[in-house]
Structure 1
């Protein structure tokens, strides 16, 4: 693919080391705005010329911006910003969790897999009780049982070795300074501390997050984390090995293992060997060509034609996000969806624009079909082969056309009674498999041809997203996570007399709690627990390119568990089809369908859709639930004249900053 703008780094303002350090301090402590910056709640996009950073917290955004201004790459800015997120947004992501990252260097797009892995001594019954019934989510997730080997730091170190410009050590300085000097507790951090959680049951977390009366620190309280500062300093000086290896009492790895295996109520299996042998992976990205057609009521933006081809690139499995989004978009393209206008002037008090009820019906049907395939097929590709020559079998045009035929496209037609998983055209149908695809050697079983059962729906949570474009046109999209809010709700501290620490993930709960289907023990669930396996994820970082020139158009993503697929899809559809700018697309009301099952509701963001929309969907047979759908979308779009436009989700605390 062609470089975006090779001359911009020379034209962008690069500061001397002394001035760069001053700019960094100004950015971190907000003493003076040194760049054009979008503020939380802005309804207009950020606009710039050279580079941009979008993250979930202003301090992280400011840190990434300062690294770019000091001459760093997009990768440098992402690492520095993520270390700050570990401190200021610990409920969502951090060094105790994992991430997926897409990077484009102007020519090549790569995907980095920093997903957690299951300990080596677990088995598929990890989340079953003595009666072989699945545990409740809280029972499974709080404590050590669900902690996987964290992948974030190994992944970032691997990516930095290939795409970093600034020294590794320098990237940790802002987070260390903030941890030592303190940062103001944000409204979102305070709110989530005030909601029911198990942090008070962990002595380390209780001493850090709450005052002597057991109350969460108030908004604006300067919170210091000297233990995290010491941990980050070790990693800055010793690289990722300082986190993953060590046997001394004050080393990080033994402290992690002690916390996991020594949990008083729910111990886990993680070992020093699991940490030392963790590997981050570079995988080929999953890319597909998509034809975007403007809806009749939208005007082509930036002089673009009414129809244009783009290439959408995302993470392959174990992420399910790109596959599901590609299936939803591909199925919708074979329906009247693209010809349906938006509600540009919805009834008061609803602020437009809004998707129409007819479009939402078609989307929900396409999503149910995609969720059916996701539940049956998608898992760690090192354990589960794709249903065909490659995972692209699930995106074959003929296959998507067959899937679309399952939908009744007549006006006011009811929803599908069933949304079954399909069998791609390239997979031989076998009558003995009762419609399910056989796989030779599935997982670690050799010489067997077990059949797959769909994974039952279960909760997914978490995460944070970063999008960056630097002055050389290098770009990345990274989604990181500790899974549920507060992860496993245990805080690691090495016991050296310093307050604070870092939280661990509960990512193993993204595996299926039930390992096998009801048809018998030979019918397995692809995403069941296995040693060293990576759990399926919904994280959907995306990079989008023009066709055929291959120029970067878009970087984006969101937190939100299984809803990530729909949040990210909504944003991208709004830009590609409805002619919205990136902030307008982010601001659109959220919607989601999380399962293919007949009783799975259509989720609509509470208070954002008119009653008539709900009634129209209900008349078609949909169950509709209104609830808070708190996305955290971040995105940067490259406009036709080479300028940048960014957006951040007003539902959280994200901002965009750059030059």
Structure 2
């Protein structure tokens, strides 16, 4: 009776949201107990580096909001995890308001300059420029959006002064911070950006030696920039000396970018309504296009129509069905989602359409699926996007129960490898399709399609149940859905769900962590046509939290340097 009542309440709650998938045809799996309300006067931060988490916690201790803390976390990540995100990049923030129970998305995605052309990533022969060449070029940088987006959100939802949110990051940049193993590994890699002149110069010590894990790294240029940003607000980034230096830097080299100071001054974040859909007794909310929240919701809606939950993580059939659902989702996402008019968001999660796609899921892998035709769709379009796996994710919940789930990026590792004022410039233009056709083709002012899906989880009464997200390029959708299945269907602690092996299935490719599956699973997958290969699709950076029994159950991905911490704000500690 409890589950029936909850389901009826959920259906009513979703009446004004995106379509709710009909009940699965198989018997539902055992469900996690409904989450309880966020603990009173408790704060939570999960971020990809301990210093970033501590910067956020420090703001919460001073009475700041979740958005205030998000500003501090991003400022620190730009310093201590520059391979993944920074002030020169973009982000999507999904914010939950505890008072109104509303979920809002702040879109700080980079934009193509006004001078961008559809063929700008093609060579003289009409073929796509090789990625290692394109990624280092000035053409790779889109107009950065994260600073303007954070400033808008903080203006609306902040409790502290903007100027008071950067102290921890300024001190760490000026005095130095300890290089983490992950940063040390990327700084010493042979990747194109790590060997670019700006990165080489930054990552060398006074003796001319490459830094390594455990060394102290200082960034006085970034400290000076943050002081101006604190005093002047976002105009310190988008007008004046920093803007002039960004434009000059992207215009250098053989493939110069088209960005102008006018492009920077004109950048505006977009406030969007989250796309939401039910899963079991919960509501999942994520960013709409140009991000891929609808892809995540479609995937979970198909999963809900299988018996994955009743099987468990040691059953190869469960993983086969997960892989097949993933492939169907990616086929649809790639064909329809982008910064274009007419994306069939409602159609992709329409109950009848979801049922038709879920009916294709069997206990053996079939041929690579093609895109379906959801209600409201035009003809499926060819996509040639190659999205790589640099990015970061963090979560903040403040003492009032407001939550931020934010995914932030400079695109590839260290962006273009070019630096201005102590931060790296993004290579987000290479997130567009190099081939000038399809929903993700380049156009002036357009935002490249993103796989970032910072997600908020609600109970049926729209109280907060949790939040989750990950970096990882197009594999993000796989990472987040895997963890959601672990948390909700398999009732695992968040840390255990995050640590589950990754399996990314897209088209004819099956990649994953072959050494992390339970005994017999990889062989069982192979018997059913899923030939799992190690390689891409393994570097997740999940952060998640679920409210159970009046407590935060949080976790950080063991594959990276992140931490998840809860504090008692009533005691100021």
The normalised TM-score by structure 1 is: 0.78
Alignment deviations for residues 336-385 of structure 1 (CA, whole Å, 9 cap, x no partner): 32332332xxxxxxxxxxxx2101111111111111111110001xx332
Q: 1:64 to 1:544 in 2, by over 3 A?
A: same
Asked if 2 retains the 8 angstrom alpha-carbon contact of 1:5 and 1:472, the reply is no
Aligned pair partner of 1:154 in 132, 135, 148: 148
Q: 1:177 to 1:569 in 2, by over 3 A?
A: same
Correspondence 1:514 to 2:546: no
Q: How does 1:93-104 map to 2 (within 5 A)?
A: 93-104=85-96
State the shift of 1:586 in Å: 1.0
Q: 1:219 to 1:338 in 2, by over 3 A?
A: closer
The whole-number CA distance in structure 1 between the counterparts of 2:500 and 2:68 is: 31
Asked if 2 retains the 8 angstrom alpha-carbon contact of 1:606 and 1:627, the reply is no
Correspondence 1:80 to 2:72: yes
In the other structure, the counterpart of 2:43 is 51
Asked if 1 retains the 8 angstrom alpha-carbon contact of 2:277 and 2:283, the reply is yes
In the other structure, the counterpart of 2:540 is 631
The whole-number CA distance in structure 1 between the counterparts of 2:38 and 2:528 is: 52
The whole-number CA distance in structure 2 between the counterparts of 1:161 and 1:212 is: 41
In the other structure, the counterpart of 1:300 is none
Give the 3-state SS of the residue equivalent to 2:199 in structure 1: helix
Correspondence 1:539 to 2:452: yes
State the shift of 1:327 in Å: 1.5
In the other structure, the counterpart of 2:425 is 504
Asked if 2 retains the 8 angstrom alpha-carbon contact of 1:560 and 1:632, the reply is yes
Correspondence 1:572 to 2:484: yes
Q: 1:604 to 1:198 in 2, by over 3 A?
A: closer
> How many residue pairs align between the two structures?
531
In the other structure, the counterpart of 2:500 is 588
Correspondence 1:327 to 2:298: yes
In the other structure, the counterpart of 1:415 is 365
Aligned pair partner of 2:249 in 247, 255, 259: 259
Asked if 2 retains the 8 angstrom alpha-carbon contact of 1:632 and 1:648, the reply is yes
Q: How does 1:191-206 map to 2 (within 5 A)?
A: 191-199=185-193, 202-206=196-200
State the shift of 1:62 in Å: 0.8
Q: How does 1:377-456 map to 2 (within 5 A)?
A: 377-380=336-339, 383-387=340-344, 391-407=345-361, 409=362, 414-424=364-374, 426-427=375-376, 437-438=377-378, 452-456=380-384
The whole-number CA distance in structure 2 between the counterparts of 1:59 and 1:394 is: 40
Correspondence 1:478 to 2:399: no
Give the 3-state SS of the residue equivalent to 1:571 in structure 2: helix
The whole-number CA distance in structure 2 between the counterparts of 1:8 and 1:334 is: 36
Structure number with larger C-alpha Rg:
1
Q: 1:377 to 1:6 in 2, by over 3 A?
A: closer
Q: 1:286 to 1:6 in 2, by over 3 A?
A: closer
Q: 1:163 to 1:365 in 2, by over 3 A?
A: same
The whole-number CA distance in structure 2 between the counterparts of 1:656 and 1:362 is: 31
Asked if 2 retains the 8 angstrom alpha-carbon contact of 1:469 and 1:636, the reply is no
Q: How does 1:618-657 map to 2 (within 5 A)?
A: 618-627=526-535, 629-640=538-549, 642-657=550-565
State the shift of 1:289 in Å: 1.3
State the shift of 1:118 in Å: 0.5
Give the 3-state SS of the residue equivalent to 1:480 in structure 2: strand
Q: 1:204 to 1:414 in 2, by over 3 A?
A: closer
Asked if 2 retains the 8 angstrom alpha-carbon contact of 1:143 and 1:489, the reply is no
Q: 1:203 to 1:419 in 2, by over 3 A?
A: closer
Give the 3-state SS of the residue equivalent to 1:102 in structure 2: strand
Q: 1:536 to 1:590 in 2, by over 3 A?
A: same
The whole-number CA distance in structure 2 between the counterparts of 1:200 and 1:113 is: 28
Give the 3-state SS of the residue equivalent to 1:373 in structure 2: helix
Give the 3-state SS of the residue equivalent to 1:486 in structure 2: coil
The whole-number CA distance in structure 2 between the counterparts of 1:337 and 1:644 is: 26
Alignment deviations for residues 75-106 of structure 1 (CA, whole Å, 9 cap, x no partner): 11111111011111111001000000011121
Asked if 1 retains the 8 angstrom alpha-carbon contact of 2:136 and 2:193, the reply is no
State the shift of 1:612 in Å: 3.2
State the shift of 1:620 in Å: 2.5
Q: 1:200 to 1:644 in 2, by over 3 A?
A: closer
Q: 1:452 to 1:5 in 2, by over 3 A?
A: closer
Alignment deviations for residues 274-300 of structure 1 (CA, whole Å, 9 cap, x no partner): 100000010000111122xxxxxxxxx
Q: How does 1:36-47 map to 2 (within 5 A)?
A: none
Correspondence 1:551 to 2:522: no
Asked if 2 retains the 8 angstrom alpha-carbon contact of 1:204 and 1:492, the reply is no
Alignment deviations for residues 420-467 of structure 1 (CA, whole Å, 9 cap, x no partner): 11111x33xxxxxxxxx53xxxxxxxxxxxx55220352422111110
Asked if 1 retains the 8 angstrom alpha-carbon contact of 2:75 and 2:86, the reply is yes
The whole-number CA distance in structure 2 between the counterparts of 1:273 and 1:623 is: 50
Aligned pair partner of 1:374 in 320, 323, 333: 333
Give the 3-state SS of the residue equivalent to 2:484 in structure 1: helix
Give the 3-state SS of the residue equivalent to 2:107 in structure 1: strand
Q: 1:578 to 1:422 in 2, by over 3 A?
A: same
Q: How does 1:5-20 map to 2 (within 5 A)?
A: 8-9=40-41
The whole-number CA distance in structure 1 between the counterparts of 2:248 and 2:484 is: 43
In the other structure, the counterpart of 1:211 is 205
Give the 3-state SS of the residue equivalent to 1:627 in structure 2: coil
In the other structure, the counterpart of 1:34 is none
In the other structure, the counterpart of 1:36 is none
Asked if 1 retains the 8 angstrom alpha-carbon contact of 2:194 and 2:417, the reply is no
The whole-number CA distance in structure 2 between the counterparts of 1:645 and 1:624 is: 31
Correspondence 1:311 to 2:268: no
Asked if 1 retains the 8 angstrom alpha-carbon contact of 2:37 and 2:464, the reply is no
Q: How does 1:182-331 map to 2 (within 5 A)?
A: 182-199=176-193, 202-211=196-205, 215-246=209-240, 251-262=241-252, 264-291=253-280, 309-320=281-292, 322-331=293-302
Give the 3-state SS of the residue equivalent to 1:622 in structure 2: coil
The whole-number CA distance in structure 2 between the counterparts of 1:7 and 1:193 is: 40
Q: How does 1:55-66 map to 2 (within 5 A)?
A: 55-66=47-58
Superposed CA RMSD:
1.9
Structure 1: unaligned runs, 5 residues or longer: 10-49, 292-308, 344-355, 428-436, 439-450, 494-500, 517-524
Correspondence 1:116 to 2:116: no
